[in-house]
């Protein structure tokens, strides 16, 4: 018989904990390992009962959920983290700490069940690979979670055509759609796979295979031709990057 998935609930709102308990009672193969109402108590409970996964609120007084997840990542065998929150603004930060899912309140039963399935899958992969779930230092970002009117959408990094800066945000372009994230271009350049993405301007990065050609205008400025018919100006400091696409 498969061992039940042992879950710890962490939320500073008693009614939110009660709702999650009721929803979990409808899901087969799960077992409540305990509840905590703040981050410090959550860390003590994880040490004491070693749950498989944590359903973790983000907006809590004192140590918030992101801080708790960072602290858990330093454990010898950290539990899988599923964020359960009323706020979508923390999605990028949540996946920077290797959360397996991000569930919006009010929590729907089927949505929680999918999050539990993802937690099980992460644990299964961990056992098969013999590795801890936290990304190794220097690992490249594989996905982003971005906000939409009805919730969050998962974007695979490999599907992003280009990235452009807008004030304090970055815009991820996929086809004719785009989403804003709270990142800097320097951070993205450091975390995205350089074999897949290239920086062409102080405010723009492009997926390498999205560039179809290069041209130089009458003023001597270089432009990258893109697969969607647009062009991206190449900054003076990034001309060598562009020429490198052509092996020059």
pLDDT in tens, 147-174: 776 667 788 899 999 999 987 788 999 9
Q: Which of 57-61, 150-154, 210-214 has the lowest mean pLDDT?
A: 150-154
pLDDT of residue 117: 94
Using CA atoms, how far apart are residues 198 and 119, in angstroms rounded to an integer?
A: 33
What is the share, in percent, of the chain residues with pLDDT greater than 70?
Answer: 90
DSSP H helices in the chain: 14-24, 39-49, 65-72, 91-96, 109-129, 185-191, 239-245
Comparing 92 with 52, the larger pLDDT belongs to: 52
Residue 175's pLDDT band, with cuts at 50, 70 and 90, is: very high
* Mean pLDDT computed over 174-185: 86
Structure tokens at 164: 């452009």
pLDDT of residue 90: 58
Comparing 214 with 181, the larger pLDDT belongs to: 214
- Give 120-134 pLDDT, tens digit per residue: 998 988 887 664 444
Length of the chain in terms of residues written: 248
Structure tokens at 247: 């092996």
pLDDT beyond 70 at 240: yes
Q: Domains in the chain, start-ordered, CATH in brackets?
A: 5-129 (3.40.50.2300), 158-245 (2.40.50.1020)
Residue 74's pLDDT band, with cuts at 50, 70 and 90, is: confident
* Mean pLDDT computed over 203-229: 94
Contact 174, 161 (CB under 8 A): yes
What contacts 135, CB < 8 A, 6 or more positions away? 98
* Mean pLDDT computed over 174-193: 86
pLDDT of residue 207: 96
Strand blocks (E) in the chain: 5-10, 30-36, 53-56, 80-85, 101-104, 143-148, 151-156, 162-166, 169-174, 177-181, 197-201, 204-207, 211-216, 222-226, 231-233
pLDDT of residue 140: 82
pLDDT of residue 143: 85
Residue 94's pLDDT band, with cuts at 50, 70 and 90, is: low
pLDDT beyond 60 at 113: yes
pLDDT of residue 233: 95
Residue 93's pLDDT band, with cuts at 50, 70 and 90, is: low
């Amino acid at each position: 018989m498969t061992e039940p998935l042992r879950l710890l609930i962490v939320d500073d709102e008693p009614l939110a904990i009660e709702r999650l308990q009721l929803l979990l009672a409808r899901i087969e193969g799960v077992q409540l390992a305990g509840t905590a109402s703040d981050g410090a108590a959550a860390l003590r409970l994880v040490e004491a009962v070693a749950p498989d996964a944590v359903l973790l609120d983000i907006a809590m007084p004192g140590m918030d959920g992101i801080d708790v997840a960072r602290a858990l990542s330093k454990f010898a065998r950290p539990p899988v983290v599923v964020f359960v929150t009323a706020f979508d603004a923390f999605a990028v930060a949540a996946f920077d700490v290797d959360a397996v899912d991000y569930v919006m309140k009010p929590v729907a039963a089927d949505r929680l069940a999918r999050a539990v399935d993802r937690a099980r899958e992460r644990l299964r992969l961990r056992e098969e690979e013999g590795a801890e779930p936290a990304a190794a230092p220097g690992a490249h970002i594989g996905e982003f979670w971005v906000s939409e009117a009805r919730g969050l959408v998962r974007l695979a990094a490999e599907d992003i055509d280009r990235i452009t800066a807008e004030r304090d945000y970055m815009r991820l372009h996929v086809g004719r759609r785009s989403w804003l994230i709270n990142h800097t271009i320097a951070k993205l350049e450091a975390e995205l796979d350089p074999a897949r993405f290239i920086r062409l301007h102080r405010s723009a990065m492009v997926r390498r295979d999205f560039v179809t050609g290069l041209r130089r205008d009458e003023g001597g400025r270089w432009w990258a031709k893109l697969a969607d018919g647009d062009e991206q100006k190449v900054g003076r400091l990034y001309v060598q990057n562009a020429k490198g696409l052509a092996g020059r």
